[in-house]
Chain A
């Protein structure tokens, strides 16, 4: 594992330097064009970046969780989820138990955030919690814990902030440029008539850069995150010793994207307004499309021999039919043979909350996960003798309700 993280770090530093270079170039041309001073532009770019980085470093995780309306839970609120996170904490050798958050959303999603392994959080939507069996949940949590353990979370925060800065600067710059061009009052012509060719070249280079920089930065960002997604999958398989868990969870997540379009459309505006949040979510987002989900599933399913990193590497080569693996040789060899364990017997959904439900019934309509949210909000639950279950909000003042099914009056 060590070697792998090391080699990743070198690669990451290079990519971060690339993005930083891009950021400086944007600032340079911004200054040159608007203030006749390249240094001024550089200073602006650096100041914006520094402020955003400081915020991201100290408050990034709470901003992210706050925007996602995530609720922190304790072990009593969702025993199974808490247990699974603790299991993965032990398996990964993480020193501190991460905080656990639930997001009340039918979309299938999970992400990890935090500055370093000792201050980290995992968040999961109620939709995903509801759909996954214990083994699948373990696979997903293993993947998120791997992001924390491999320090992907901080790296993604750094790069996404830089990316966000580039996007913001380029956006404003291009708006000003367009506005200037349309009104035809470009001061470049009036103030420096004699500049001629060199001026025009700078203008064109600057324009092209403003348009390309965000795209380029995005591509670099993907390059960083893609490999890390594979590595987190490999780590998850190693931690859980059960690649099938993550594979079938990914399948559920991938299969549901079409149905959830409405939810995505609803949240889409929020994403575009705030690039920081958008990229932050992507950082460790399981559903992020970069490595295609189907391929990730196929790799996990091809892990025939065992659950070690070397096994994942072999599977990766086989599926991609390439010579190069995703994990360096030393890292793959560092861990000995790891067997794949048996599937555990469990059904989707949070456990032991609704009485009378047969354990074998994997009902898609159960509301255990959303019930966790209700309990966090201090809702009361009363069961009517006719079998209907009433959930009463904390602000409800009446001392009784009428069961509309059977006509009984239930005292509260």
Chain B
């Protein structure tokens, strides 16, 4: 996969059966729809599609951030807030292929999900694990 921001080859990192695309140049992370489903399911979100659609259907915010193309289908992705208070804008594929998070945004996503997750047991471990996944960066 090519990084949608810097158009270089992205690496793939696999840990505990979850596989993510990671760009070592800009530290962005691509969540493929399938991986997202796995992650969300293990975090206790049964209806994660509704969550995704919620993000997808929200009106597109007016932002100077540059638009990127979906690395899976090549169509322009939509900008969407996953955390309005902290102004965390992510790129989401309109066809539902996945979400692109710029460097650092993943920690915010994990935090938001951890707060809204219905069960506070196992899911926290999974979310912490995703947060840990990218904590070291140069």
Interface residues of A (CB under 8 A from B): 106, 262, 265-266, 363-367, 370, 374, 379, 387-393, 395-396, 398, 401-407
Mask, B76-116, CB within 8 Å of A = 1, is: 00000000000000000001110000000000000000000
Contacts known (A396-B9, A404-B22); A389 close to B15, Cβ less than 8 A: yes
Q: Is the CB of B18 within 8 A of A404?
A: no
| Distance of A402 Cα from B24 Cα, bound (Å) | 8
Say yes or no: A401 contacts B11, CB within 8 Å.
Answer: yes
Partner of A266, one of B35, B73, B136: B73
| Contact (Cβ within 8 A) B17 A363 | yes
- Residues in B with CB closer than 8 Å to A363 are 17
Are A402 and B96 interface neighbours, CB within 8 A? no
Question: Does the CB pair A262–B97 fall under 8 Å?
Answer: yes
Q: Is the beta-carbon distance between B9 and A403 smaller than 8 angstroms?
A: no
Overall SS of chain A's interface: loop
Beyond known contacts A266-B95, A396-B11, A402-B24: 17 more, CB 8 A cutoff:
A262-B96, A262-B97, A363-B17, A365-B17, A366-B17, A387-B16, A388-B14, A389-B13, A389-B15, A390-B11, A391-B13, A401-B11, A402-B136, A404-B13, A405-B13, A405-B135, A407-B136
CB <8 Å contact, B11 and A392: yes
List of B residues within 8 angstroms of A402 by Cβ: 24, 136-138
B128 interface hit (Cβ, 8 Å)? no
Tell whether, in the assembled complex, residue A404 and residue B134 are in contact, meaning their CB atoms are under 8 Å apart: yes
In contact, A367 and B19 (Cβ under 8 angstroms): yes
Q: How far is it, in angstroms, between the C-alpha of A401 and the C-alpha of B18 when the chains are bound?
A: 19
Contacts of B73 in A (CB 8 A): 266
A/B interface sample: 14 pairs, CB < 8 A: A363-B17, A365-B35, A379-B12, A390-B14, A391-B13, A396-B11, A398-B24, A401-B24, A402-B24, A404-B13, A404-B22, A405-B15, A405-B133, A406-B136
| List of A residues within 8 angstroms of B137 by Cβ | 402, 404
Please measure, in the bound complex, the distance between the C-alpha atom of A389 and the C-alpha atom of B33, giving whole angstroms: 20
- List of B residues within 8 angstroms of A106 by Cβ: 34
Q: A265-B95, A266-B73 are in contact. Are A404 and B136 (CB under 8 A)?
A: yes
Q: In the complex where A266-B95, A367-B17, A403-B136 touch, is A391 in contact with B12 (Cβ < 8 A)? A: yes
Cβ contact within 8 Å between A391 and B11: yes
CA distance A364 to B11 in the complex (A): 22
Q: A391-B12, A404-B13 are in contact. Are A364 and B133 (CB under 8 A)?
A: no
**Does any Cβ of A come within 8 Å of B5's Cβ?**
no
What is the chain B residue whose CB lies nearest that of A363?
B17
Residues of B with C-beta under 8 A to A387: 15-16
Shortest beta-carbon distance from B36 to chain A in Å: 11
Q: Which residues of B contact A407 (CB under 8 A)?
A: 136
4 closest cross-chain pairs (CB), A and B: A407-B136, A365-B17, A391-B12, A393-B9
| B-side contacts of A262, CB under 8 Å | 33, 95-97
Expressed in whole angstroms, the Cα–Cα distance for A106 and B35 within the complex equals 11
Instruction: Assess the B14–A389 pair: CB atoms within 8 A.
Output: yes
Query: Which residues in A have their C-beta under 8 angstroms from that of B15?
Result: 387-389, 405
Chain A, Cβ-Cβ closest to B17:
A365
